[in-house]
A = this chain, B = another copy of it.
């Protein structure tokens, strides 16, 4: 586990995009790329790219460019996705099922080890090769398996109580699909929100103001 406290949060925000682009380049068999060429593919400026990537050490060499594979691996390392984080899914309704079955968690640094629901029609079924457990089993499961992250696919109204329970059980990171603002009540944990509505409202703005 590495600490990179000196990297600004806006650079961190851009890292997954660099990672995706570098992954594409790797697939295409491109082993090195200049900041200018990468900039043009990503529609950024070369100086922005150099500034961002300089944070991770000297991977760019004048007249050579960036070593794609080294940079790709370095970003994976910084993101911490080479060391899987144990995660559980809370809520295995339609959304939870789609998320569990369609994400390649291992490639993204997570290992899904459990799933919980209260719906008798859902408890006991298999999702992404995990058997869904009843919420009553959560405490015992966490004490035994010590997951670090929870994926929240619950109705908004259920999130406050569940988040409280989960933090008490040692969960330190939330991937939150609900509208409940977990970070407000739990500033001590890491939260990433997937707010469908927010992006849709911003799209509305962009369409109407373009």
Chain B residues with CB under 8 Å of A15's CB are 201-202, 205
A157 on interface, CB distance cutoff 8 Å? no
B205 touches A199 (CB 8 A): no
Q: Which residues of B contact A113 (CB under 8 A)?
A: none
Of B81, B98, B206, which is within 8 A of A173 by CB? B206
Query: Which of A138-146, A159-167, A190-198 is the contact stretch?
Result: A190-198
A98 and B190 CA atoms in complex are apart in Å by 26
Contact A173 B2 (CB under 8 A): no
In the bound complex, CA of A192 to CA of B12 (Å): 19
Q: With an 8 A cutoff between CB atoms, is A122 at the interface?
A: no
Q: Report which of B19, B199, B204 forms a contact with A85, defined as CB distance below 8 A.
A: B204
A19 touches B201 (CB 8 A): yes
Interface residues of A in 84-124 (CB under 8 A from B): 85, 94-95, 97-99, 101-103, 105, 108-110
Interchain nearest-CB distance for A196 vs B (Å)? 6
Q: Which residue of B lies closest to A5 (CB)?
A: B209
A43: interface (CB < 8 Å): yes
CB-CB nearest 5 A-B residue pairs: A190-B206, A80-B208, A109-B204, A16-B198, A173-B207
